[in-house]
Amino acid sequence: MKLQHAAKTIEPARIEERGQLTIAGLGGTFTAETREGIPALWKRFGPYLGKVPGQVGDAAYGVSNMQRGEINYIAGVEVLENADLPPDFSEARVNARTYAVFEHRGHVSTIPQTVGEIGRDWLPHSGWEPAEGFHIIERYGREFDPRTSSGLTEILIPLKS
């Protein structure tokens, strides 16, 4: 069943087990007021796509960790552990766990709206709880067009075991 809201419809989640990931790329710290700086971070990271030492696969990832009103965000790719990364890169190690995976279709500027609706509409009625100290992961695969910043993005919400 889809949850209908005036602004958007949340597709049903897939519940998946995912292995450990190491995401490396350019990082920054933002607030709700400055998160519009995230697209500029992606623009700076763009030339590295496909050229990151130890890169695994061709998907790109946005990893955000929210703490005390700040969003620590990495625009990056999956890499092998202990990859020889450029000095200005940041890393996020994401533990293996269960995720609720949502499909976001459209422009990246509406991802915060989708994440908000997941937390407000899906999570309270799902029977699941979010993992403590969790990261929200955006996965940009082949169905995403970086030139238009639109397409399919998977939103992964880590869940308590």
- Are 1 and 39 found together in one domain? no
User: What pLDDT is attached to residue 68?
Assistant: 85
Number of domains in the chain: 2
User: What pLDDT is attached to residue 2?
Assistant: 44
pTM: predicted TM-score of the whole model, two decimal places = 0.89
User: What pLDDT is attached to residue 66?
Assistant: 84
Q: How far is residue 17's CA from residue 161's CA, in Å, rounded to a whole number?
A: 10
- Are 14 and 25 found together in one domain? no
The residue among 53, 77, 94 that closes a domain is 94
The residue among 94, 115, 136 that closes a domain is 94
Query: CA gyration radius for the chain?
Result: 15
Question: Residues of the chain with pLDDT > 70: what percent?
Answer: 94
- Are 88 and 109 found together in one domain? no
Long-range contacts of 64-70 (CB under 8 A, 24+ apart): 64/135, 64/136, 64/138, 65/92, 65/133, 65/134, 65/135, 65/136, 66/136, 69/31, 69/32, 70/29, 70/30, 70/31
Average pLDDT estimate for 98-124: 92
- Are 84 and 106 found together in one domain? no
How confident is the prediction for the chain on average, in pLDDT?
Answer: 89
- Are 69 and 40 found together in one domain? yes
- Are 73 and 101 found together in one domain? no
Residue 5: pLDDT above 50?
no
Residue 3: pLDDT above 50?
no
The residue among 75, 94, 113 that closes a domain is 94
Q: How far is residue 5's CA from residue 51's CA, in Å, rounded to a whole number?
A: 41
pLDDT higher at 135 or 42: 42
- Are 58 and 117 found together in one domain? no
Average pLDDT estimate for 45-70: 93
